[in-house]
Structure 1
Amino acid sequence: MSRHWRHKVEVAVLSFVGITGFLFLLQNDKKGPVLKEAMETPVTIPPIITGRPKPIAECQRNVTVANISGFAGLPDHIKDFLRYKHCKEFPLLLDMPDKCGGPDNSYDTFLLLAIKSSPGNYERREIIRKTWGQERTYAGVNIRRLFLSGQVANARDAKKTNQLLKIEAEENGDILQWDFLDSFFNLTLKQVLFHSWMEARCPGVRFVFNGDDDVFANTDNIIHYLLDVPGAGDEHLFVGQLITNVGPIREKWSKYYVPEQVTASKSYPPYCAGGGILMSGYTSRTIYKESLGIELFPIDDVYLGMCLEKAGLKPSSHMGIRTVGVRVPSSRLESFDPCYYKELLLVHRFVPYEMLVMWRAIHRPNLICGKRMEVYQSL
């Protein structure tokens, strides 16, 4: 072949390679920014799952309740309860799907602390995290913690508190938040949604502590008590401060006012005060199943009693659970003495700083009980 033709062939080959390479770069350039973005994305903790796998239709209010005799004269919060008591499903805004290690590994969680907390109660949650609500292994078993919350009514405040809860969830991994109004009459809804969540996420948990964020719980004592309970969570257990032979309060001034338009019954089933309750995983699952067929009732602890009654189970009393505080032998004695709390399981009504002071006091190695010791004063 002559030098002239060889030159033409080389030019043609180089041109083909050049054009092919140029087209390749153009095609790759369209994908380049995506690949670059993916490479530069830092490795982070898996995001918090929001919402549920299936969409939940917005629950519509029941307008027919306006026809109930005396409805117009009821307080607004009771009217709202009657309008929406059929609504039992709400989207999760903040979820902790791996709190118990997944459904298959949830048997490794011995005690799950499920603490009802309004969105703005940041200080209470922080103190609980540092004291009795610590996630830890104690006496060879695992303790895990969750705070249960809804949303505040005011849209401007909701924007701030939702951001607060999101920050807490990212930092501590312990927030469950649903898209409903967090109010006293919606505590039952919060309770039902938690049991539904637990059925899906943590079905094998051995025991559950269910209580408010203003209680002081001695989780050391709780663990020792539960370790001696037969059945390791597979048998019925529901203990607290037992309440029997009571019925609805009909006085409108009361926080617990329940009119006849809500229930005509004059008595409640036996139940435990909602400030703090211990239950087995078996009982928690039973409550979930029974709640599917029982309409919501505005008093959450009474509602749990209704679920137990339908299942043929009974609540029990425990002397170490004091939801109305500690009574001392004499008015001359200081009720905030750690010796009164060292052997208890739970006491209701503590402000945050008291939780920290008492937690440190009962864990002092030199605490000697048998005579009055004001250890807390030297902290």
Structure 2
Amino acid sequence: MFMNFRRIRRCQCVQLVMTGFVLSVLMVCWVQLDHHVENRYLVNSYDFINKSFGISQQESESLSNFLYLINHHDKCNSNEVLLLLFVKSSPENLERRQAIRATWGNENYIQRELGANVRVLFALGVYSNPQQRGSVQRGLLREDQVYGDLVQQDFVDTFHNLTIKLLLQFRWRHTYCSKARFLMSADDDIFVHMPNLVHYLQGLIQQGARDLWVGHVHRGAPPIRQKDSKYHVPYEMYQWPSYPDYTAGAGYVVSRDVAAKIYQATLFLNASLYIDDVFMGICANAMGVSPQEHVYFSGEGKAPYHPCIYDKMITSHGHVADVRRLWKAAMDPQIHDISSGQGLQLVSSSK
């Protein structure tokens, strides 16, 4: 009887210790979660980031005062522009630009088949390799003589200069295409379902949409501190535990009024932060603009290859060699029937 009592006491002690351990772990996790939520709330609600990034207009211009090597200032001089679409491309990515011109970025197709005035431009810097820069630049000049859709400034085209490329887009739009209803920024490895995008934007105009910034939203994302990461941001550059909310830079759309606000923000915020989509979030935060999630903007992800997806998708990221094939599949006239179930009914009835 005495031995059984000791065993019971021992089991109770073990249970008590385990219960205490579990509760301690839960309390630590809760504190961390609560701290994360608090930090995210502060980052997205207060203006101390704006004050930290604030600089004079003269300093701002020194960060982005690059000469145009290739420009088309009359690109938007024609009829009212529904969408100004800037594709961020690198000088060496000719094949990607060719694929876009032949598919979703073909202005003639968009005007003829969709009845929309869309202007597509490729934003570029200069080739990063000094030894090959001259020959690559001559190739870009020949390319632009044929297509007339390159906008290039005299900065080195590298990952760490992507924020300069963002400034190029918003400042070019302010100077040469301020009446465009919408501005879209996209990577050159993205697929855009242009009919779906045009239909979506036309619907927004009917609704009188304002304060629009739409894409795949990152909320409360923390800076990456690992030095071996491509996205490493040192504490000295950004000392807070999370970024303001922002959309994935692979593809997002802003309305005309938001584009004007972002341009104004670039005039007094330090653009040395080289994560361009995060800097976009800082600019928007300074102007009181919040991003809106749209399920059919895939962000950094690639949409599944499936007919039911094609009928709704707007963007899909990570397409280099398959843009032409995907465009052909997505534009198949039978896609709408399949996605609505009619195609499946036809298949069933034929069996």
**Shared fold, TM over 0.5:** yes
Q: For residue 249 of structure 2, what is the aligned residue in structure 1?
A: 274
The alpha carbon displacement at 1:232 in A equals 7.7
Tell me the residue number matched to 2:228: 253
Matched, 1:159 2:134: yes
Which of 315, 318, 322 is the matching residue for 1:349? 318
1:214 paired to 2:189? yes
Matched to 1:248, the amino acid is P
Distance change in 2, residues 1:152/1:85 (3 Å): farther
State the partner residue of 1:119. 91
Cα offsets for 1:252-290 (capped at 9, x unmatched): 111110011212122110000000001112111111111
Cα distance, 1:155 vs structure 2: 2.0
Q: Which 5+ residue runs of structure 1 have no aligned equivalent? A: 1-83, 328-334, 373-379
TM-superposed CA distance for 1:326, in Å, is 4.3
Pair 1:343–1:147, CA change in 2 (3 A):
same
Instruction: Give the whole-Å Cα distance in 1 for the aligned partners of 2:296 and 2:203.
Output: 15
1:144 corresponds to:
119
Letter in 2 for 1:341: Y
In 2, Cα distance between equivalents of 1:253 and 1:156: 27
How far the C-alpha of 1:195 sits from its partner, in A, is 1.1
What letter is aligned with 1:300?
D
For residue 336 of structure 1, the aligned residue among 298, 305, 312 is 305
Equivalences for 1:84-99 in 2 at 5 Å?
Answer: 87-99=63-75
Q: How does 1:147-296 map to 2 (within 5 A)?
A: 147-230=122-205, 235-296=210-271
More helix by share: 2
Give the Cα–Cα distance (whole angstroms) in 2 for the partners of residues 248 and 189 of structure 1: 20
Asked if the contact 1:111–1:144 (Cα under 8 Å) also holds between the matched residues in 2, the reply is yes
Which residue of structure 2 aligns with residue 358 of structure 1?
Answer: 326
Alpha-carbon distance, 1:113 to partner: 1.3
Q: Deviations over 1:307-337 (max 9, x none)?
A: 111011111110100023346xxxxxxx433
2:68–2:154 contact (8 Å) kept in structure 1: yes
SS in 2 for 1:87: helix
Does structure 1 conserve the Cα–Cα contact (< 8 Å) formed by 2:124 and 2:150?
Answer: yes
1:313 corresponds to which letter in structure 2?
V
CA contact (8 A) 1:116 1:213 kept: yes
3-state SS of the aligned residue for 2:97?
Answer: helix
Superposed, 1:39-118 pairs within 5 Å as 87-101=63-77, 108-118=80-90
Following TM superposition, by how much is the alpha carbon of 1:158 offset from its aligned partner in structure 2, in angstroms? Answer: 1.1
Shift of the alpha carbon at 1:247? Answer: 1.9
Q: Provide the C-alpha distance between the structure 2 equivalents of 1:108 and 1:168, rounded to a whole number of angstroms.
A: 27
**Cα distance in 2 for residues equivalent to 1:175 and 1:323:** 24
Cα distance change, pair 219–118 in 1 and its aligned pair in 2 (3 A): same
Superposition RMSD on alpha carbons, in Å? Answer: 2.0
Contact 2:68 2:153 in 1 (8 A): yes
* Alignment partner, residue 306 of structure 1: 282
Partners of 1:89 and 1:344 in 2: CA distance: 37
Higher RCO by CA contacts (8 Å cutoff, separation 6 or greater): 2
| Contact 1:188-1:299 within 8 A present in 2 as well | yes
Q: How many residues align?
A: 277
What displacement does 1:234 show?
Answer: 7.1
Residue 69 of structure 2 aligns to a residue whose secondary structure is: strand
- The one-letter code sitting in structure 2 at the alignment partner of 1:140 is G
Counterpart of 1:324 in structure 2 is 300
Contiguous gaps of at least 5 residues in structure 2: 1-59, 345-351
Q: Distance in 2 between matches of 1:232 and 1:284?
A: 18
Paired residue for 1:25? Answer: none
Tell me if the contact between 2:302 and 2:318 (Cα under 8 Å) persists in the aligned partners: no
Question: For the Cα contact (< 8 Å) 1:325–1:349, is it kept in 2?
Answer: yes
Tell me the amino acid that sits aligned with residue 317 of structure 2: H
Structure 1 216/254 Cα, relative in aligned 2: closer, same or farther at 3 Å?
same
Q: Is the 8 A contact 2:88 2:123 kept in 1?
A: yes
User: How has the CA–CA distance of structure 1 residues 92 and 326 changed in structure 2, closer, same or farther, with 3 Å as cutoff?
Assistant: closer
Higher mean Cα deviation, 361-370 or 244-253? 361-370
Q: Structure 1 residue 341: deviation in Å?
A: 2.7
Q: Which is greater in Rg? A: 1
In the TM superposition, what is the alpha-carbon distance from 1:169 to its structure 2 partner? 1.2
> What secondary structure, in the 3-state scheme, does the structure 2 residue paired with 1:228 have?
helix
How far apart, in 2, do the equivalents of 1:279 and 1:248 lie? 24
Pairwise CA distance, 1:231: 6.7
